[in-house]
Amino acid sequence: MQIIFPEYRLGSMIPPLFHTMLCIAFLMPRIGPYKLANPVALAPMAGVTDLPFRRLCAEMGAGLVVSEMISSNPRLRDSRKTAWRSVHDFEVEPRSVQIAGSEPLELAAAAQYNVSQGAQIIDINMGCPAKKVCKKAAGSALLADEALVKDILHTVVKSVDVPVTLKIRTGANPGERNGINIARIAQDAGIAALAVHGRTRACKFEGEAEYDTIAAIVAATEFPVFANGDIDTPEKAAAVIRRTGAAGVMVGRAAQGKPWLCGQIAAHLSGETIVSVTPEKQFAILRRHLLALHDFYGEFMGVRIARKHVSWYLQGQPDYRSHRAAFNGLQTPAEQLQQITQLFNIDRHKEIAA
């Protein structure tokens, strides 16, 4: 794995005792034949974790990145969105591709298709509450039907010779927290690793993530479990690992506009001192991100997709709203690059939250 900013990972030669103990306490998670470089995964996020963003996060130290979900419906394979989501050129290995659907045979066919396109891990989405997925009783809506979950998992695992992982929530709603049952079904089906977002489907993104439910799932199973939900700092990641006993953490929203966050968390978990990301470095990363978006999506869509990412990078800066509004009015890649150059020059000497 290429680390573009090695100074992020420079740590003290003698880590504090706590860190040393933490390092010894967990082994690097293994997913089938793939031993991860560290236990920090970037969560799949539709519309966010596209190839340009995944590559940045991986280069800056994420131990695993997962594609945005790809529908199992073969009729959507030629759609522009699915085509973009299916590109894995120059992806950091192992290439994990998430599929979403509700029909066991269709999901198995989708798994086979994506393996034929280069996927090295197939991830099944039973964690996403998005309407478009759930209207078809896919994503986290499947959790309410354990027999169907069992059928899907056995069918998909048997259909491919790469590891299959699963992403779930803790249940359909607070009255039906069947995450432990689902995890046991997954283990029996031969699932290689599990990511658990510590909320039920009905809880959406509200309330506290249920780390104790994740701890119970970890205790009930043998395979690597990634704890997910509200992890936004290296310290929180360490606390979640201590509390849940999980093999790793999965980080979603907090990484938006901070492609260095997974790497910082990994550094902290291995006892290294975290070096904050200076505004100059943020500018260099953002510039590279913009160039990659313009290149990947083409000028028209690249300019539009860049807007939300730039908005996340700028969050917390002085005059955030006016800068964002100005940026959103720009129509060409050259204007966007010029604008961020000006912005970061203006703010060169101001502290930006890392």
Ligand X SMILES: Cc1cc2nc3c(=O)[nH]c(=O)nc-3n(C[C@H](O)[C@H](O)[C@H](O)COP(=O)(O)O)c2cc1C
Annotated active-site residue in 23, 57, 128, 134: 128
Does 236 engage in binding with ligand X (CB under 6 A)? Answer: no
As measured in angstroms, the least distance from the Cβ of 176 to ligand X is: 19
Does 50 engage in binding with ligand X (CB under 6 A)? Answer: no
Reduced 3-state DSSP string for the chain:
CCCCCHHHHCCCCCCCHHHHHHHHHCCCCEECCEECCCCEEECCCCCCCCHHHHHHHHHCCCCEEECCCEECCHHHCCCHHHHHHCCCCCCCCCCEEEEECCCHHHHHHHHHHHHHCCCCEEEEEECCCCHHHHCCCCHHHHHHCHHHHHHHHHHHHHHCCCCEEEEEECCCCCCCCCHHHHHHHHHHHCCCEEEEECCCCCCCCCCCCCHHHHHHHHHHCCCCEEEECCCCCHHHHHHHHHHHCCCEEEECHHHCCCCCHHHHHHHHHCCCCCCCCCHHHHHHHHHHHHHHHHHHHHHHHHHHHHHHHHHHHHCCCCCHHHHHHHHHCCCCHHHHHHHHHHHHHHCCCCCCCC
Residue closer to ligand X, measured from CB, 16 or 47: 47
Output b/e per residue, 213-234; b: 16+ Cβ within 10 A.
Answer: bbbbbbeebebbbbbbbbbebb
- Binding range to ligand X, per CB under 6 A, among 72-80, 106-114, 183-191, 223-231: 223-231
Torsion-angle region of 246 (φ positive above 0: left; ψ -120 to 50: alpha; else: beta): beta
Query: Per-residue x/- mask for ligand X, residues 5 to 34, rule CB under 6 A?
Result: ------------------------------
Tokens of 99: 């599929």
Residue 128 appears among annotated catalytic residues: yes
Of 98-137, binders to ligand X (CB under 6 A) are 98, 125, 127-128
Query: Per-residue x/- mask for ligand X, residues 131 to 170, rule CB under 6 A?
Result: ------------------------------------x---
Query: Per-residue x/- mask for ligand X, residues 201 to 220, rule CB under 6 A?
Result: --------------------
Q: What number of chain residues touch ligand X (CB under 6 A)?
A: 22
Of the candidate residues 31, 36, 46, 191, the single one contacting ligand X (CB under 6 A): 46
Residue closer to ligand X, measured from CB, 43 or 290: 43
As measured in angstroms, the least distance from the Cβ of 65 to ligand X is: 12
Residue closer to ligand X, measured from CB, 218 or 343: 218
- Binding range to ligand X, per CB under 6 A, among 40-48, 72-80, 321-329, 335-343: 40-48
As measured in angstroms, the least distance from the Cβ of 84 to ligand X is: 13
Residue closer to ligand X, measured from CB, 19 or 85: 85
Of 266-305, binders to ligand X (CB under 6 A) are none
Of the candidate residues 59, 230, 272, 347, the single one contacting ligand X (CB under 6 A): 230
- Binding range to ligand X, per CB under 6 A, among 53-61, 175-183, 211-219, 227-235: 227-235
Binding site for ligand X (CB under 6 A): 43-48, 68-69, 98, 125, 127-128, 167, 197, 228-231, 251-254
Q: Catalytic residue positions? A: 128
